């Protein structure tokens, strides 16, 4: 079975631009989460979606938004990019919202903002 897939793998943008990152979860998984990982740090939680509803939001500005589609894939949008948005963006999927759900991560999208 295919794992979590993300596109694109790499992206270069300039300050002020907008970017959309995409994620397809493991087949059968209904929950998708997004994380930002700045170089040298652990991932920071951005959003979690389950059954197309937002179930959690991290401490990120409103420039960050996301949605989940009926097929459970997800998009993360970042508007008005800043240099500090340069990071590895990781998507993770899990079966559901249960007590022991393991999140499985995709390969990530490396975003560089110039």
Partner 1 sequence: AQKITQTQPGMFVQEKEAVTLDCTYDTSDQSYGLFWYKQPSSGEMIFLIYQGSYDEQNATEGRYSLNFQKARKSANLVISASQLGDSAMYFCAMRERKTTDSWGKLQFGAGTQVVVTP
- CA nearest to 90, candidates 105, 102, 103: 105
| 76, 46 Cβ separation under 8 angstroms | yes
Spatial CA neighbour of 3 closest among 25, 30, 32, 34: 25
- Give 58 or 75: the residue with its C-beta nearer to partner 1: 58
Q: Is 45 in the site for partner 1 (CB under 8 A)?
A: yes
Which residue's CB is nearer to partner 1, number 19 or number 26? 26
In the block, residue with structure tokens 């979690």: 48
CB 76 within 8 A of CB 66: yes
Nearer to partner 1, 71 or 99 (CB): 99
Of residues 11, 22, 30, 58, which one binds partner 1 by CB under 8 A?
58
Q: Does 99 contact partner 1 by CB under 8 A?
A: yes
Q: List interacting residues with partner 1 (CB under 8 A).
A: 33, 35, 41-45, 48, 55-56, 58, 88, 90, 92, 97-108, 110
């Amino acid at each position: 079975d295919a794992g979590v897939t993300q596109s694109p793998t790499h992206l270069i943008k300039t300050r002020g631009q907008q970017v959309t990152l995409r994620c397809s979860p493991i087949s059968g998984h209904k929950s998708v989460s997004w994380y930002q990982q700045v170089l040298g740090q652990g991932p920071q939680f951005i959003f979690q979606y389950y059954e197309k509803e937002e179930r959690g939001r991290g401490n990120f500005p409103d420039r960050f938004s996301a949605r989940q589609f009926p097929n459970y894939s997800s998009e993360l949008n970042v508007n008005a990019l800043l240099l500090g948005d340069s990071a590895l963006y990781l998507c993770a999927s899990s079966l559901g919202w249960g007590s022991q759900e393991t999140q499985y991560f995709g390969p990530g999208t490396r975003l560089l903002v110039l």
